[in-house]
Amino acid sequence: MPGYAHAMERLGTETAFEVLARARELEAKGKDIVHLEIGEPDFDTPRNIIEAGQKALEEGYTHYGPSAGLPEFRDMIAKHIADHRGIPVSRENVVVTPGGKPIMFFAMMAVLDPGDEALYPNPGFPIYESVIEYLGAKAVPLALRQENEFRLDLDEVKDKLTPKSRFLILNSPQNPTGGVLPPEDIRALAGILRDYPEVWVLSDEIYSQMLYDGSHASIAVEEGMLDRTIILDGFSKTYAMTGWRLGYGVMPTQLAEMVARLETNCNSCTATFVQRAGMEALRGPQDASRKMHEEFRRRRDHLVAGLNRIEGIDCLLPEGAFYVFPEVKSLGPSREFAKQLLEEYGVAALSGTAFGAFGEGHVRFSYANSIDNLEKALVRIADCASAFRKS
Ligand code: PLP
């Protein structure tokens, strides 16, 4: 049989999809499962957005479009980012992609060479480490710890930056911890990066509108950072549009041209009717999205209180996104705990190690599920924890 590229040995994956597949297998055999594994809102896309997508199809948005995105949509995104972040960006800085994920891949492809060093949060979204390694660059983890409220340890950042550093990834609010980088840390980090002008920053802000208190802070606004920051954002989470595949990056013009060229080589463009639906998401009423967010807050409070009542589980109250990342260290290895939880107790969750080695001692629960189901899950998690305490 013909062989495969060596680089494929370095390409990782997202365990969430594997756990979902196993959970479905168990369901097919008749087992009742509460799904707390997958990172997508359980709400439907708001009606006005669906109708805008349908109307666009009727109007003939069924053809190829420009690789960087429809000009009117890029204008709208630039205005949205300028208004929300307070930075002077325009159409030329915006590239629309099928989901936010391609921005990670394309941005790293455009700037990383083999041997370059890229710093990334760990635990963190698994695709960061996967793409860095796939490209032959060196993945340098920045540990996020519960005792530090899952903030970056700025001394560690200083220690790990070297003359070979070319890329640094930030994600706030964060997956999997729900942690938020406080503005003072972002400012301090920008100060540290001033000594490393060769380092690009990918600021993954996909959960920027899923913040429970305070307002979102982006490193792009800090002095000197706009010229070296790629903001990743999109519609999947805020507007419950995961399956539509719609996201974007905001970055310096020259990089935007390169990312658009990668888009030409890969997808040609993002589906044009989907972009028209995205326009409605940005300019239409925001109440459905707001309601969803308030419901997430209720669930978060409920889940965190319930988890902290279980002996052996210690859970912080996350400030953003829709995940909790409790410590379960005293009960046993994370992977074992998550496995038993699914196989024996019918709760699908992810081991902290699915987000990198520094996730050991934790599990991730997504609270994109109803209060009733969270209640059911809590009883089962308590039973599982009790069994681990006895073993
Ligand atoms: N960034 C983070 C931190 C995420 O958690 C996700 C999705 O789970 C994405 C980016 C990708 O989002 P999209 O579905 O828009 O590609």
By most ligand atoms within 8 Å of CB, the mutation choice from 175, 209, 230, 231 for ligand 1 is 175
Residue type for position 200 = W
What does the block give as tokens for 170?
A: 């930030």
My answer on whether omega of the bond before 98 falls inside 30° of 0, hence cis, is no
C-beta pairs of 308-312 under 8 Å, 24+ apart in sequence: 309/382, 310/378, 310/381, 310/382, 310/385, 311/385, 311/386, 311/389, 312/385, 312/388, 312/389
Kindly state if the Cβ of 101 falls inside 6 Å of ligand 1.
Answer: yes
Q: How many residues comprise the chain?
A: 391
N-to-C CA span, the chain: 47
Statement to judge: residues 269 and 293 lie in one domain: no
- Which helix (H) or strand (E) segment is 262 a member of? helix 253-266
Buried b (16+ CB within 10 A) or exposed e, 161-175: beeebbbbbbbbbbb
SS3 state of residue 268? coil
**Ligand 1 centre and the CA of 1: distance in Å?**
35
Statement to judge: residues 231 and 291 lie in one domain: no
Residue type for position 380 = R
- The whole-angstrom separation of Cα 354 and Cα 356 is 6
Kindly state if the Cβ of 242 falls inside 6 Å of ligand 1.
Answer: yes
Tell me if 86 is assigned to some domain: yes
- The whole-angstrom separation of Cα 384 and Cα 391 is 11
Residue type for position 84 = H
**Ligand 1 centre and the CA of 270: distance in Å?**
16
SS3 state of residue 48? helix
Statement to judge: residues 293 and 194 lie in one domain: no
Specify the number of domains making up the chain: 2
Q: In sequence order, what E strands does 184-317 have?
A: 200-204, 229-234, 247-250
Statement to judge: residues 252 and 106 lie in one domain: yes
**Ligand 1 centre and the CA of 48: distance in Å?**
23
| Residue entry with tokens 């109803």 | 370
Cα angle 121-154-146, degrees, rounded to a multiple of 5: 55
Statement to judge: residues 232 and 112 lie in one domain: yes
Residue where a domain terminates, one of 283, 312, 335? 283
15-34 confidence digits (pLDDT tens): 888 899 999 999 999 999 99
User: CA quadruple 349, 353, 355, 361: dihedral positive or negative?
Assistant: positive
Kindly state if the Cβ of 190 falls inside 6 Å of ligand 1.
Answer: no
272-327 confidence digits (pLDDT tens): 999 999 999 999 999 999 999 999 999 999 999 999 999 999 999 999 999 999 99
Residue where a domain terminates, one of 220, 251, 283? 283
Distance from chain centroid for Cα 66: 26
166-183 confidence digits (pLDDT tens): 999 999 999 999 999 999
Kindly state if the Cβ of 100 falls inside 6 Å of ligand 1.
Answer: yes
- Structural domain span for residue 376: 6-45+287-390
Statement to judge: residues 171 and 85 lie in one domain: yes
Of ligand 1's listed atoms, the one at least distance from the Cα of 321 is 5
Count the helix, strand and coil residues of the chain and give each as a percent rounded to the nearest 5: 50, 15, 40
Which pairing describes strands 165-171 and 200-204: parallel, antiparallel, or unpaired?
Answer: parallel
Residue 363 has pLDDT above 90, yes or no: yes
Residue 343 has pLDDT above 90, yes or no: yes
Q: In degrees rounded to 5, what are phi and psi of residue 117?
A: -105, 140
What does the block give as tokens for 144?
A: 């996020």
SS3 state of residue 366? strand
**Ligand 1 centre and the CA of 247: distance in Å?**
9
Statement to judge: residues 35 and 145 lie in one domain: no
Contact 108, 131 (CB under 8 A): yes
Report pLDDT for 108.
98
Contact 311, 389 (CB under 8 A): yes
**Ligand 1 centre and the CA of 311: distance in Å?**
32
pLDDT mean over 353-366: 97
Statement to judge: residues 304 and 382 lie in one domain: yes
- The whole-angstrom separation of Cα 106 and Cα 168 is 15
Statement to judge: residues 151 and 87 lie in one domain: yes
Share of the chain above pLDDT 90, in %: 96
Report pLDDT for 214.
87
Tell me if 113 is assigned to some domain: yes
Domain of residue 275, CATH code: 3.40.640.10
| Residue entry with tokens 């055999």 | 29
Kindly state if the Cβ of 105 falls inside 6 Å of ligand 1.
Answer: no
Domain of residue 292, CATH code: 3.90.1150.10
30-88 confidence digits (pLDDT tens): 999 999 998 889 999 999 999 999 999 999 999 999 999 999 999 999 999 999 999 99
Q: In degrees rounded to 5, what are phi and psi of residue 142?
A: -110, 115
**Ligand 1 centre and the CA of 101: distance in Å?**
6
